[in-house]
Amino acid sequence: MKYTSKSQEETHKLGRGFAKRLKGGEVVCLYGNLGSGKTTFISGVVNYFKPKTRVLSPTFIIVRHYRFNKPPVKNLLHADLYRLEDKPSIEALGLADFLHQPDTLVFIEWAEKLGGYKPRKCLEVSFIIKESNEREITISGPDN
């Protein structure tokens, strides 16, 4: 499915709408240049499960963990692989321990860095900057 967002608010709202379809256990791989809206989209997802939560990019700490009290989803891991350059660094994150757990969502920015570690069954969200505030956002994968 392809969407056009004309503002950060629309990207956030799209993330909230996307979150409504998640049941737990999903892995979401995100692709797009710096500033394309990946973290804004994830902020919408997090705020669906826990309103008014401040979502920051995990660029420097690599992984942020959000806990919810909205069954069936209890956890969301937000990973940013931008700073990682090699396979041992990716392995050391321990993300594999959380993949496809029924009460956990895993969102991975810069998922192209996963290489052979990318889960076979994942949703993919791609962000393309069209104009200063306009983004083309494409969601694909199992059950779209």
Q: Global pTM?
A: 0.91
Quick: pLDDT tens for 45-95.
999 999 999 998 888 888 999 999 888 999 999 999 888 776 666 666 767
Pair 81, 110: CB distance under 8 Å: yes
The pLDDT value given to residue 30: 97
The pLDDT value given to residue 143: 61
Tell me how far apart the alpha carbons of residues 119 and 134 are, in angstroms, rounded to a whole number: 30
Q: Which domains does the chain have, with CATH numbers?
A: 2-140 (3.40.50.300)
Tell me how far apart the alpha carbons of residues 128 and 117 are, in angstroms, rounded to a whole number: 24
Please give the mean pLDDT across all residues of the chain: 89
Mean pLDDT of 129-133: 89
The angle, 0 to 180 degrees and rounded to 10, between the axes of the packed helices 8-19 and 38-49 is 50
Pair 126, 137: CB distance under 8 Å: yes
Distance of CA 106 to the CA centre of its chain: 7
Residue type, 126: S
